[in-house]
Structure formats: structure tokens, C-alpha cells
Chains A and B, each alone.
Chain A
Amino acid sequence: MVLSAPPRSTSPRSTSVRRLTKSTAPKPRRRIRSASRMDAFAPYMYIAPFFALFAVFGLFPTVFTFYVALFDWNPIGGQTFIGFENFVTLYGDERFWNAMRNTFSIWILSTVPQLLLALFLAQLLNNARLKFANLFRMTMLVPYITSVVATTIVFASLFGRDYGLINSFLNLFGIESIDFAANTFASHIMVSTMVLWRWFGYNTLIYLAALQAIPKDVYEAAAIDGAGGFKQFIFVTIPSLRPVIIFTVIVSTIGGLQIFTEPLLLSSPGLTGGAGRQFQTLSLFMYEQGFGDFKFGYGSAIGVTLFALIVVFSVINYLLSRRITSDE
């Protein structure tokens, strides 16, 4: 597309003169009138595409999930209204609680180290005298552009039981090979590592931007008051980062509770997240029920539950982060 320069008044005429010229010239006046009539609707037309798309492909499916969850709904066989039976069955389903435990374990194992690492690296990067700063920043963002599918395949190879690089490394120190996919906790570490790898650089850059926004005189004032580097970090840096920490924690929570691709590819060709469902997450459980067994109603009940969990955790996160940082 070609963007031409905006009209600029090149003539020295004053505004009133120009207005006078326009009111006598018929052609521009017509254009202005129709333009102003259009202008009343223009803002609504400009925002309409988003609201239309969101209504059809975002809001409606979300609301409809709650509706489908009340049915025994098979895409081929038809649907029967069964009230809250799906939820009753779900909360008595051991596979659901198993997926819940796995999801939380993977979420904590990936989010906490990731954000701490990001905070640490951002602190290191936040120095005007640092050399190669752009190189460091750019390589950190490379995992972010790598797809989850590619990430999972590489890490599955690195964590491989027989020929994996990580086990070869452990063997050097006389540690026996670990079957990462078979063991519950080890498989969670494997999945969490993939999540951590993809997102630590992104979060580092977000923290770095926030660190750069802290005025230098705040640190100077703290230094005059006798605060050393560590004290400055605790009493100046952390409180200043409060909004961005809340932001990253909420985003990581929303993402972490929806982890899906890694466990799916690791359990390929099945959908169970390992033979003993040791790393099946809630999202994968939903996919297994919805598109593996074609229980749309039951799958939607899982979706509704996850939705509620995400809302509750976002609110708790927000309140907790606010509380913690305002105590400082």
C-alpha cells in the first residue's frame, strides 16, 4: 500500500478566508457534508469488525460451552439434556483430579523458576555499560519464535531415555539414566522445562523494560539512606515492578493452566499423557474427551471448570500480589 503525505496547508490564507472560499465553492461543500454525516457513524464502523468477530468466534462459543456442558452431546448421535450430571460425573472422576494435580504441578514448576530467572536476567541486562546488550536481548527471544511443536520434539530428544543428551550427561557423573516420560515428577520437570525455555526471554524483556522505567533518583535516594545493592533491589526495585509482576503472573497463570501441546506430542499417538496419565493436563483431558471420545458435553464441562479456575486464580493472584507488594 502507498501512503501519501497528509494534506498540509501550503497557502498562507487564514482559516476564515478558507472557510469563506469553501462555502462559495459547491463541490467541496458537498464532500464535507457527506463526510460529516459519515463521521457520526465512523467510530462505530471502525470498532465493529472486532466486536463482530469477537461475538461470533469468542463470546458466543464461550457462553455456548456452558450450555453444551448441560447435555450428553455427541456430534453424530445427537444430544440429550441431562442438567448438571456432567459436572457430578466429572468431580467424581479420578482422571479429572489426576489431570488437575498434573496441571498445577507443571504450572508451578514452570512459572516460579521462569519468573525468578527472568527477574535475575533483567537485572543483569539493566546496565547502560553492558556490551553486546542487543545480542543478549535478541537471542533470548529466539525460543519465543520457535513453535511449541518444534520445542517439544527437540526437548523430547534431549530428555530421551536411551540416547538423550541429558541422560548421557548424568551418566558422566555416575547417575543412572532417568526415564523422564515414565516417571510422574520427572515428566512434569520435562514439560516445565519446555515451557520455561520458550517464555523466560520474553518475560526477561518485559521486566527489563519495567526496570528501565524506574527513575534513577529513587536509587540515588535509597543509596544516600544507606541501602546497598540487595536492599535497593528489595525496597526499590520489587515495589516499582509491582504492576508488571502482577501482569506476568496473571499471563503465566492463564497460559500455564492451558498447557496442551507438550503433553499431547509427548503422549503421541495416544491422548492420555503417558500410559498412566502421568502428565495429562486439564486441556489435554478436555481434548481427549471432546475430540478423542466425541463427548462434547463432558469435554465442555471440563472447559467450564478450567474457565472458572482461571478466573479464580487471576483474582487471587491479583489480590495476593497487591498485598505482598504493598506490605513493603
Chain B
Amino acid sequence: MTTHSSNAAPVIRPTGRPLKRAFVGRVRWWTYAFLIASVFMSAFPLYWMFVVSTNDSAAVSQMPPTVLPGGNFFALAEQVFTTVPFVQSLVNSFVVAGSIALAQMVLCTLAGFAFAKLQFRGRDPLFIVVLITMMVPTQLAVIPLYMIMSNLDWIDSLQALIVPGMASAFGIFWMRQHLASVLNNELMQAARIDGCSTWQIYWRIAFPLVRSAAFVLGLLAFVTAWNDFLWPLIVIQSPENYTVQLAIKALQRQYFVDYGLAMSGSFLATIPLLILFIFVGRKMVAGVMDGAFKG
């Protein structure tokens, strides 16, 4: 997706929106102590994953075990690539998570736009239905979902992973809140007078205004799809259709006692997301914080 630095449309920000008031006070030393401890807590398991995937099994099973990286990384990584079709599983995960992210960005923005800015019969009851569907734990319906996929002849195919995740109630809710706050009615009326159809208003005015929020939604959808496990486990059978998570599980199943291989696979599967996170982590933090209180 191309990002433009210039804001395409003239926006009149709603006045009287309360500014974020940050609490200002003295920061005591123990504040930093606790926060550094929490950083350690967050990062250490990943560091340990790296340590185990760079050492041979003897080094991590001695007493006391080593806590430093070793030089065995490429040997273990090579074993990962030869034991399971790991590259293929990375490609599959990219296809699945990428398609879901793109579809959610488009479909949720479209529906969010309709709910935020268009007048139509049944709008409010339908939006309440969307909110209710957010509360439905669909994970519990995997048995009938499997039957549906079986009837569609989609078992063991990537579309069985992609299609059910293409639109989300949360995404609609999220985009609706953003569109309601940034797209004002005067601007829409002006566009209508200029002869814009609803679709043109959506595509040329609404979407550019909220593309940053749509991007965050896409990121969250990507991460969720990349890390999904239960549904791929049920619906995917052959190794060439494995997602990354299934590939790691296959590594773990074969070498349960020796963690090195499964850890190496886990590390290799986490690297793409970590790289992504370095670039967009700040945006994700803002997105998570924003999602909580856009009500």
C-alpha cells in the first residue's frame, strides 16, 4: 500500500475534543526498577529461545545450563529446513495472513463507513448485531465449521484459513469509530454537491482519512492470523499446506525431548514478526491504546 505524506483532503477537526492530559509527577527510582523488570520479563523468553537455538543440546542440558548464545545456529536451522517444509510454510503463512489483513482493511473500512456516515433503514439495529457478534466465541463451533469446509471441498486448502477471517466485527467497530470522528458531514455534503457518488466519497475521501487506522487494523489481523493455531490444526493435513505454527508443532512432535529443533523453528517463525515489529511497533502500541477507548 502506498502511503502519502500529504493529507489529501481538507479536514476540519472537531473542536472541543479533550486533549490527552498526561499525569505529571516525580518519577521515583523504583518505578524504573519495576519497569526494567517487566522489560526483562517480556524479553527473556525470546532471548532464551535464541540461546537454545544457537547451542547444541549438551550445552543447555548441563548443570547449570548455559545462558549465552552459542555457534550452532546454522546447523539447527538447516535441520529445521530439512525436517519440515519450512520455507513453504512461511510462504503459506504470508499468503494467509496477508490476504486476511488486506481483506479486513478494505471490507471493514467499507462497512465502518456505511455505519458511521450513511443513512439507511435498519442501520442502528444492524450495528448492534455487529457488536453482539463480537461476543460470540466462534472457536467453539469448529466441528460444524469443519463440516462446512468438508462440503465446500476446502479441507486441506489455504482458502479454508483465509475466507472465514476476511471480515471482523471488531474491525468494523474500530473503523466506524475512526470514521465518525474524522470525517465530518460538511465535507461529505460538499463532495456530494460536487457530484461524488457514495463510492467516490468512500474511496477518495473517507479511506485516505483513515488509512492509518486501517493499517493498524491490518497489522493486528496479520499478527492474529500468523499466530492462529487451532483452526489450521483442524483443517490442514498435508505438510505442503502447513502454516508456520503447524510446522513448529511438527518439529516438536518429532523431537519432544530435544527442544533445540522446536526452539530453532519457533525462533525462525518469530523473526518475521519481530522485524515487522521494529518498523511498526510504535504504531501498534498506539493502535492498542487507541482501541481501548474509542467509545
List residues of A whose CB falls within 8 A of some B CB: 1-9, 15, 18, 22, 28, 31-32, 35-36, 38-39, 42-44, 46-47, 49-51, 53-54, 56-62, 64-65, 68, 75, 120-121, 124-131, 134-151, 153-158, 160, 162-163, 165, 168, 197, 200-202, 205-206, 208-216, 219, 243-244, 247, 254, 257-258, 260-261, 265, 268-269, 283, 286-287, 290-291, 296, 299-300, 303-304, 306-307, 310, 314
Residues of B within 8 A of A157 (CB): 48, 52, 60, 259, 263
Interface residues of B (CB under 8 A from A): 1-2, 4, 8-10, 18, 20-27, 31, 34-35, 38-39, 41-43, 45-46, 48-49, 52, 60-65, 67, 107-108, 110-111, 113-115, 118-120, 123, 126, 130, 133, 135-148, 150, 163-164, 166-169, 172, 190-191, 193-200, 202-205, 207-208, 211, 223, 226-227, 229-230, 234, 244-245, 248-249, 252-253, 256, 259, 262-263, 266-267, 269-270, 273-274, 276-277, 281-282, 284-285, 288-293, 295
Interface centre among A43, A68, A125, A202 (most CB of B within 10 A): A43
The 4 closest A-B CB pairs, nearest first, are A35-B197, A61-B141, A128-B22, A150-B266
A151–chain B nearest beta-carbon distance, Å: 7
Q: Does the CB pair B111–A62 fall under 8 Å? A: no
Residues of B within 8 A of A62 (CB): 136, 138, 140-141, 144
Q: Are B110 and A269 in contact, with the CB atoms below 8 A? A: no
Residue of A nearest to B123 (CB): A43
Q: Which of A146, A156, A206, A303 contacts B143 (CB 8 A)?
A: A303
Cα separation A64 to B23 with both chains bound (whole Å): 51
The answer for the CA separation of A89 and B118 in the assembled complex, in Å, is: 51
Cβ contact of B45, chosen from A155, A257, A306, cutoff 8 A? A155
Select one of A9, A131, A197 contacting B190, CB under 8 A: A9
Tell me which residues across on chain B come within 8 A of A51, comparing CB atoms: 126
Q: List 11 A-B contacts (CB under 8 A).
A: A50-B130, A53-B166, A61-B144, A61-B148, A129-B26, A141-B281, A143-B45, A145-B273, A158-B45, A257-B137, A260-B139
A299 touches B45 (CB 8 A): no
B191, B204, B229: the one contacting A149 at CB < 8 Å is B229
Q: Chain A interface secondary structure, helix, strand, loop or mixed? A: helix
Contacts A6-B205, A205-B285, A299-B143 given; indicate if A265 touches B61 (C-beta within 8 A).
no
State whether A147 touches B137 (Cβ < 8 A). Answer: no
| A307 touching B137, Cβ below 8 Å | yes
Beta-carbon contact of B111 and A142 below 8 Å? no
When A5-B9, A165-B48 are in contact, do A43 and B118 touch as well, CB less than 8 Å? yes
Chain B residue contacts of A75, Cβ below 8 A: 147, 150
Contacts of B202 in A (CB 8 A): 46
Additional A-B contact list (16), CB under 8 Å, known A126-B23, A210-B293: A3-B204, A6-B208, A54-B167, A65-B144, A68-B144, A140-B42, A141-B285, A145-B277, A147-B270, A157-B48, A165-B67, A197-B41, A206-B292, A247-B292, A290-B142, A310-B140
